[in-house]
Amino acid sequence: MEENKDEIIENNGEEIALESNDIKIAEGVVASIAGVAVSEVSGVYGMAGGFVGGISEAFTGKKNITKGIKVELEGQEAKIDVNIIVEFGARIPDVAYEIQNRVKKAVEDMTGLKVAGISVHVQDVKIQGQEDREKEEAISNEEKK
């Protein structure tokens, strides 16, 4: 078992003890870091979240960067699930691999936590322009009524 070692630093001639285990990082912080990393990966159309994520975006008008990301922290380890929608034509294994690499690097670099695993779940494939066509169809159907 690892001992809790205090780090001693010097501040203007005074010694200050810092306990290394005093830093607590919330799961939401890790989810935010992962969300930013995922958003930078080519081939990701968006995040697949549940009903609650969509409702909060509708009310606030802001994108929820943690939508579709679930984090479990156990001690100094993190397990992360990422639910995505990929762009049509993107090679899914390559997109998933890039997500795993970027998320692992970002989380470990920023938090000092060890990433024990990243699971990427592809929930849908979006075709470019599909959203516009769906909106046009909905408007057209409403006009016919």
Q: What is the pLDDT of residue 53?
A: 47
Return the closest-CA partner of residue 85 out of 126, 128, 118, 50.
Answer: 126
| pLDDT means over runs of 10, the chain (145 residues) | 46 49 87 96 90 50 84 95 96 98 98 97 86 64 64
- Considering the segment(s) 27-144 as one domain, its CATH architecture is 2-Layer Sandwich (3.30)
What's the whole-model pTM score? 0.70
Residue 68, burial from CB neighbour count under 10 angstroms (0-12, 13-18, 19+): buried
Q: Which helix (H) or strand (E) holds 86?
A: strand 77-87
